[in-house]
Amino acid sequence: MAHKILIVDDEPNIVISLEFLMKKEGFEVAVATDGEEALAKVAAFNPDLLLLDVMMPKKSGFEVCEALRADPTRSGLLIVMLTAKGRDTEVAKGLAIGADAYVTKPFSTKELVVKVKEMLGVA
Amino acid sequence: MLSGWFVALLSAAYLALLFAVARFGDARADNGRSIISANVYALSLAVYCTSWTFFGSVGRATSGGLSFLTIYIGPTLMLLCVGTIVKMIRISKTYRITSIADFIASRYGKSQMLAGLVTVIAVIGVVPYIALQLKAVAASLDVLFEQSGHAEIFWGLDSTFLIAVILALFTILFGTRHLDATERHEGMVAAIAFESVVKLVAFMAVGLFVTYGMFGGLGDLFQRATASPELGRLLQMDETRAGTWTTLILLSGLAIILLPRQFQIIVVENVDESHLKRAVWLFPLYLLLINIFVLPLAIGGLVFFDGQGVNPDTFVLTLPLARGAEALALLAFIGGLSAATGMVIVETIALSTMVCNDLAMPLLLRSRWLQLAKRQDLSGLLIGIRRAAIALILLLGYIYFRAAGEAYALVGIGLISFSAVAQFAPVLFGGMYWKQGTRAGAAAGLMAGFIVWLYTLLLPSFAKSGWIGNGFVEQGLFGVEWLKAQALFGLSGMDEISHCLWWSMFANIGSYIVVSLNSTPDAVEASQAERFVDIMRHGRRDADARLWRGKTSLGAVVELLERFLGVARARQQLQAYAETRGHADWRELPADAEFVHFAEVELAGAIGSASARVMVASVVQEEDLGLEEVLDILDEATQVRAYSRELEFKQRELEAATAELREANERLRELDRMKDDFISTVTHELRTPLTSIRALSEMLHEDPRTELTDRKRFLGIIVNEAERLTRLINQILDMAKLESGRAEWTTGEVDIGEVARESMDSLGQLFREKGVALDGDIPAHGPLVLADRDRLTQVMINLLSNAVKFVSGDGGRVSVKVAAEAGRVRVVVADNGPGLTAEECAVIFEKFRQGGNTMTDKPQGTGLGLPISRQIVEYFGGNLWAESRPGEGASFIFTVPLPAPEA
């Protein structure tokens, strides 16, 4: 059974590219465009991995991550934070609140795919 | 009926006792065991209470009720100014001041002219007061002998003349036994203190006798007073006389220091500054005691002699006599005699010193006669002059008494004197606290005040006595209405004393200040001003010695001292001085500046500072110090102070600088943080389109088999994002240029209406595509503003494209309005979109703030359009802001100032 990936980003073009990329790799993909929608989709779609943008309206990626990590039933959920802000403090913050990986935009599609597969153990 | 001889013998015995006290005091002083204690000093101040107090207070109380008290409240208040009096004493001791004339002259550059002026005013002002004492003694004798008209009782001589002669002899014996270098008369002070006790005891004895012997005590007296409407008036504060009260309190407060005898006792005769502390409460207590029975005596007299026409000024004597208490009456007479003699002795000594030092000496020093007799010992001459002056002053007093006679009540004369000496107040106190006061100013102030006093008070009193016509009082001088002596410039409704005080002080203080500010002091004046005002700070000799430069020989100076002080006294002082400087013999003393200063101060003690300066100058080749030089030296003297002030100033500066630096640092840190945020935001904005471009192009590149529809879609996105990136970079650069001021502007006359129309045309297609209505309310021509046409177009397009972005395609409407108003053009771009909250109205002008918060209407702007537009509008001197409420559309408004019309 294919792994499920939820893509959360407010930039439509980034969503389009990530969705295409992940589907092509054979994952089952869902999309959310803000933090609140992301939490709702996690509950409904029950993904194995989250590609989570940091800068979003309504609820930031950090807030979504924190909320999910506070939920013990979701302890197995993998979270990859995506951010266009490259500052070290942001990376540190993301990892500190429980993200499993941190990827800065623009990213290499190849590397992202490798990383995602590695994390899901499908390499 | 008392025997004349008995009274004469009793008086002589009393005077002999006084003399014995004085000798005792002098002897003790010579042995270095001064009997002047704080108590003696405080009691001697009571020389203030003359026969005017002793007899006159009761008289005054019968007419003015409680207002007699003002004369005693003033001094009590004045003594509270201990600091001022101590400063005066310190100055006088340091510079051997001998009198109030000397004090004022010394302050204003040791001016002989000022010393003379003060002396003349004092003599003219005080002689009536002395006459008053003679009159009081004569009147009391009349009462004792139940007769009037000052009968010729001894050898065909008028009794008052006899009294004057006796007082003159007594004063000469008292005050001029030897010429003391310090001009202190400890024996005299002791005798005065003794007299103060005598007059207090006498007055209280009469008071007790009348109150408890003749009436049933204070309660009885006051009951009688309240029972009679006429007497009841005496117990009330008369509100209509409030002005007079103030005047009298002020006058008497000044008199306690400025009357020559008071200055003599308080300042010159003071041996220890700390004695003043005792006097501050003991003297007021004395005044209280001597006043307790004034009102009972007044009431008692009025009740007892109801309708008999007995002079209230004599109640103190007539009440005991009426009951046959002759011994008590004699005690009262002796009390009155001590009050009169005390005043006359100290006053004439003080005045004679002033006349000798400040009038006679300057004349003698100029005369040829003195130059010829240069080698003579002059100390004898000085004493002779003083003795003559004493005799002369008493003679003047007698003449005034004969002339004025019964014309004026006792109290009137006293107040005339008080008003005369009050004229010294501005220059005296001004000189102690105001360095800018000059000699010219002091002379002008004194003259002006004195002339007004003469015209408004002394001459009218002469007119009342009938000596001169009273036309200038009734009709004004030369018939000029506003020159009426006691309603000057139409100021009426005041009593004569208040009127005189008001105008004389106005003229005095006004002239003193105005002339002082408009005249330049010479070197001596400037240095004296510094010394007097800063007396509490300066060391004594150091500052002084450096202010003098010249050449002299020891012999010449010593000879000078011997001439004026007498050989014995001069050598004694020289020896004492030599020892303080560490020489065994005064002949070893160097003739340096300090020595010359010592000699001048010694001489000043004998002949006054002004004359002393002239004499010293005659034996010393002085090199003139210029004003500049003196000021320089004084500057040096205050250098330490200046340094510490400078240090304090520096420290404050440093503290201020530190605070400023901290603030600047804080600002820099804030700027740094903002820059960091900005860069982080820019990075984010640049990376976001790059992310899509990179991801999509990598996928296209790696997988050539991508379907054509996807390929087309992806390429479209890549093109759009590349455009977005380009736009973003352009705007960031634009913003940076605007902010750093490096933007290029082509400023010219721009028709702002035309700009609006063109911008609307160029975006017309976009509006039509979205189905948004666009209309304009724009004048056909103008208005014209000075601006950059392209930049204004940029603003218009930015506002219009923002508007079209936010309105809905269905029923959306955007309207543009251009109108000129007061001095500016106002352009409004209004839409009927979702509107903004008040908070949003503010933040949308921040960089990278974009309107709209949801994915659905995420705007495709860069977040830089509005900040750039605002920069542009502000560059032209206008403003750009938004007005909106949620749900009611938004208006973006900017103004540009109209060019000022050509004048």
Taking CA atoms, B329 is separated from B315, B337, B569, B901, in Å, by: 10, 12, 46, 100
Query: Does the bond joining B779 to the residue before it have cis omega, within 30 degrees of 0?
Result: no
Which residues neighbour B228 within 8 Å (Cβ) at sequence distance 6 or greater?
A: none
The answer to whether B693 contacts A87, with C-beta atoms less than 8 Å apart, is: no
The answer to whether B702 contacts A21, with C-beta atoms less than 8 Å apart, is: no
Cβ atoms of B445 and B515 within 8 Å: the answer is yes
Residue A70's domain spans which residues?
4-117
pLDDT band at B762 (very low <50, low <70, confident <90, very high): confident
- Closest by CA to B631, choosing from B431, B430, B435, B433, is B435
Q: Mean of the pLDDT values across residues B840-855? A: 63
Say if residue B614 is in the same domain as residue B698.
Answer: no
pLDDT at B542 over 50: no
Q: Where are the alpha helices (H) located in A25-103, listed in sequence order?
A: 35-45, 61-69, 88-96
pLDDT at res. B858: 46
Q: What is the three-state SS of B225-270?
A: HHHCHHHHHHHCCCHHHHHHHHHHHHHHHHHHHHCHHHHHHHHHCC
Average pLDDT, chain B: 80
Q: Quote the CA–CA distance of B830 and B531 in Å, as a whole number.
A: 79
β pairing state of B879-884 and B621-622: unpaired
Q: Mean of the pLDDT values across residues B366-386? A: 68
Q: Mean of the pLDDT values across residues B73-82? A: 87
β pairing state of B784-788 and B824-831: unpaired
Stretch among B77-91, B174-188, B421-435, B879-893 having the lowest mean pLDDT: B174-188
SS3 content of chain A, % helix, strand, coil (to 5): 45, 20, 35
pLDDT at res. B197: 92
Residue B722 forms part of a structural domain = yes
pLDDT at B365 over 50: yes
* Any B CB within 8 A of A105 CB: yes
- Closest by CA to B880, choosing from B835, B826, B843, B836, is B826
Q: Where are the alpha helices (H) located in B260-378, listed in sequence order?
A: 260-263, 275-292, 294-304, 315-322, 326-354, 361-366, 368-372
Residue A26 forms part of a structural domain = yes
Residue A122 forms part of a structural domain = no
Which of A10, A14, A58 has its CB closest to that of B691? A14
Q: Mean of the pLDDT values across residues B712-719? A: 90
pLDDT at res. B142: 79
Q: Which two tokens stand for residue B249?
A: 């309190």
pLDDT at res. B2: 60
Q: What are phi and psi of B62, to 5 degrees?
A: -70, -25
Last residue of a domain, one of B519, B537, B555: B537
- Closest by CA to B185, choosing from B294, B74, B86, B264, is B264
Q: Mean of the pLDDT values across residues B758-765? A: 84
Neighbour tally for A28: CB within 10 Å:
15
3-state secondary structure of B180: coil
Q: Quote the CA–CA distance of B675 and B362 in Å, as a whole number.
A: 85
How many Å separate Cα B115 from the centre of its chain? 25
Residue B69 forms part of a structural domain = yes
Which residues neighbour A119 within 8 Å (Cβ) at sequence distance 6 or greater?
A: A49, A78, A80, A100, A101
pLDDT at B903 over 50: no
Residue B417 forms part of a structural domain = no
Tell me how close the Cα of A95 comes to any Cα of chain B, in angstroms.
Answer: 19
pLDDT at res. B828: 86
Strand partners for B829: B816, B892
The answer to whether B694 contacts A84, with C-beta atoms less than 8 Å apart, is: no
Q: Quote the CA–CA distance of B167 and B160 in Å, as a whole number.
A: 10
Say if residue B693 is in the same domain as residue B779.
Answer: no
Residue B137 forms part of a structural domain = yes
Residue B411 forms part of a structural domain = no
Q: Quote the CA–CA distance of A4 and B315 in Å, as a whole number.
A: 128
- Rg of chain B (C-alpha set): 47
Average pLDDT, chain A: 85
Q: Mean of the pLDDT values across residues B705-719? A: 88
* Any B CB within 8 A of A107 CB: yes
Say if residue B175 is in the same domain as residue B63.
Answer: yes
* Any B CB within 8 A of A113 CB: no
pLDDT at B656 over 60: yes
Q: Quote the CA–CA distance of B839 and B135 in Å, as a whole number.
A: 95
Q: Which two tokens stand for residue B454?
A: 């003469």
How many Å separate Cα B289 from the centre of its chain? 34
Which residues neighbour B242 within 8 Å (Cβ) at sequence distance 6 or greater?
A: none
pLDDT at res. B150: 44
Residue B627's domain spans which residues?
538-634
The answer to whether B691 contacts A20, with C-beta atoms less than 8 Å apart, is: no
Q: Mean of the pLDDT values across residues B33-55? A: 85
The answer to whether A109 contacts B683, with C-beta atoms less than 8 Å apart, is: no
pLDDT at B861 over 70: no
Percent of chain A scoring above 90 in pLDDT: 11
pLDDT (tens digit, 9 = 90+) per residue, B135-180?
888 888 878 776 544 444 544 457 778 888 888 888 888 777 665 5
Residue A105 forms part of a structural domain = yes
pLDDT at B35 over 70: yes
Say if residue B608 is in the same domain as residue B642.
Answer: no
| Set of chain B residues whose Cβ sits within 8 Å of the Cβ of A18 | 695
| Set of chain A residues whose Cβ sits within 8 Å of the Cβ of B709 | none
The answer to whether A13 contacts B717, with C-beta atoms less than 8 Å apart, is: yes
- Single-letter amino acid code for the residue at B876: F
Decide which of B368 and B9 is more confident: B9
How many Å separate Cα B609 from the centre of its chain? 27
- Closest by CA to B797, choosing from B857, B688, B872, is B872
How many Å separate Cα B226 from the centre of its chain? 45
Q: Mean of the pLDDT values across residues B810-837? A: 82
pLDDT band at B857 (very low <50, low <70, confident <90, very high): very low
Stretch among B414-418, B614-618, B724-728, B772-776 having the lowest mean pLDDT: B614-618
3-state secondary structure of B81: coil
pLDDT at B541 over 50: no
Say if residue B522 is in the same domain as residue B553.
Answer: no
Say if residue B650 is in the same domain as residue B543.
Answer: no
- A94: CATH: 3.40.50.2300
Kind and range of the H or E run holding B868: helix B865-875
pLDDT at res. B459: 82
pLDDT at res. B442: 92
β pairing state of B157-158 and A4-8: unpaired
How many Å separate Cα B324 from the centre of its chain? 57
* Any B CB within 8 A of A23 CB: no
Residue B903 forms part of a structural domain = no
pLDDT (tens digit, 9 = 90+) per residue, B262-295?
998 888 888 888 888 888 889 999 988 988 888 8
- Rg of chain A (C-alpha set): 13
3-state secondary structure of B546: coil
Kind and range of the H or E run holding A51: strand A49-53
The answer to whether B695 contacts A12, with C-beta atoms less than 8 Å apart, is: no
pLDDT at B902 over 60: no
pLDDT at res. B632: 62
Q: Which residue has the tokens 């590349």?
A: B722
Q: Which of B682, B687, B690 to mutate to test the interface with A (most CBs of A within 10 A)?
A: B687
pLDDT at res. B792: 85
pLDDT (tens digit, 9 = 90+) per residue, B438-450?
889 999 999 999 9
- Closest by CA to B892, choosing from B853, B849, B844, is B844
pLDDT at B356 over 60: yes
Residue A101 forms part of a structural domain = yes
Say if residue B84 is in the same domain as residue B199.
Answer: yes
Question: Taking CA atoms, what residue in B is nearest to A9?
Answer: B855
- The conformational region for residue B823 under phi > 0 = left, psi -120 to 50 = alpha, else beta, is left
Q: Mean of the pLDDT values across residues B423-448? A: 90
The answer to whether B699 contacts A14, with C-beta atoms less than 8 Å apart, is: no
Say if residue B630 is in the same domain as residue B665.
Answer: no
| Set of chain A residues whose Cβ sits within 8 Å of the Cβ of B690 | 105-106
pLDDT at res. B515: 92
- pTM value is 0.59
pLDDT band at A3 (very low <50, low <70, confident <90, very high): confident
Which residues neighbour B109 within 8 Å (Cβ) at sequence distance 6 or greater?
A: B439, B521, B522, B524, B525, B528
A with B: how many residue pairs have Cβ under 8 Å apart?
Answer: 81
Which of A24, A55, A109 has its CB closest to that of B684? A55
Which residues neighbour A111 within 8 Å (Cβ) at sequence distance 6 or greater?
A: none
The answer to whether A84 contacts B692, with C-beta atoms less than 8 Å apart, is: no
- Closest by CA to B189, choosing from B11, B417, B349, B353, is B349
pLDDT at B409 over 90: no
Number of structural domains in chain B: 5
Residue B414 forms part of a structural domain = no
Q: Which two tokens stand for residue A20?
A: 């295409």
Say if residue B731 is in the same domain as residue B758.
Answer: no
- B288: CATH: 1.20.1730.10
Q: Quote the CA–CA distance of B714 and A112 in Å, as a whole number.
A: 19
Q: What's the maximum distance between 2 C-alpha atoms anywhere in chain B?
A: 161
β pairing state of B890-897 and B824-831: antiparallel
pLDDT at B561 over 60: yes
pLDDT at res. B181: 44
Stretch among B343-352, B751-760, B835-844, B872-881 having the lowest mean pLDDT: B835-844
Q: What are phi and psi of B776, to 5 degrees?
A: -135, 145
Number of structural domains in chain A: 1
Say if residue B593 is in the same domain as residue B614.
Answer: yes
pLDDT band at B193 (very low <50, low <70, confident <90, very high): very high
pLDDT at B545 over 50: yes
The answer to whether A105 contacts B853, with C-beta atoms less than 8 Å apart, is: no
Say if residue B244 is in the same domain as residue B314.
Answer: yes
Say if residue B387 is in the same domain as residue B476.
Answer: no
pLDDT at res. B509: 93
Q: Which of A37, A51, A105 to mutate to test the interface with B (most CBs of B within 10 A)?
A: A105
Q: What are phi and psi of B542, to 5 degrees?
A: -50, -55
Neighbour tally for B305: CB within 10 Å:
17
Last residue of a domain, one of B707, B736, B765: B736
Question: Taking CA atoms, what residue in B is nearest to A21?
Answer: B699
The answer to whether A84 contacts B687, with C-beta atoms less than 8 Å apart, is: yes
Q: What are phi and psi of B725, to 5 degrees?
A: -60, -45
Residue B572 forms part of a structural domain = yes
Which residues neighbour B423 within 8 Å (Cβ) at sequence distance 6 or greater?
A: B121, B125, B446, B449, B450, B453, B504, B508
Q: Quote the CA–CA distance of B502 and B494 in Å, as a whole number.
A: 10
**Burial bucket for residue B641 (CB in 10 Å: 0-12, 13-18, 19+):** exposed
What is the four-CA torsion angle of B196, B197, B198, B201, rounded to 10 degrees?
120
Q: Which of A7, A13, A56, A107 to mutate to test the interface with B (most CBs of B within 10 A)?
A: A13
pLDDT at B456 over 80: yes
pLDDT at res. B238: 59
Q: Mean of the pLDDT values across residues B46-53? A: 84
Q: Quote the CA–CA distance of B692 and B486 in Å, as a whole number.
A: 106
ipTM of the complex: 0.92
Q: What is the three-state SS of B553-615?
A: CHHHHHHHHHHHHCHHHHHHHHHHHHHHCCCCCHHHCCCCHHHHHHHHHHHHHHHCHHHHHHH
How many Å separate Cα B638 from the centre of its chain? 22
Last residue of a domain, one of B685, B704, B736: B736
Tell me how close the Cα of A97 comes to any Cα of chain B, in angstroms.
Answer: 21
| Set of chain A residues whose Cβ sits within 8 Å of the Cβ of B691 | 11, 14, 17, 84, 105-107
Q: Mean of the pLDDT values across residues B645-670? A: 87
The alpha carbon dihedral of B646, B647, B648, B653 has a sign of positive
The answer to whether A105 contacts B693, with C-beta atoms less than 8 Å apart, is: no
Percent of chain B scoring above 70 in pLDDT: 84
3-state secondary structure of B43: helix
pLDDT (tens digit, 9 = 90+) per residue, B480-519?
666 666 767 766 667 778 888 888 999 999 999 999 888 8
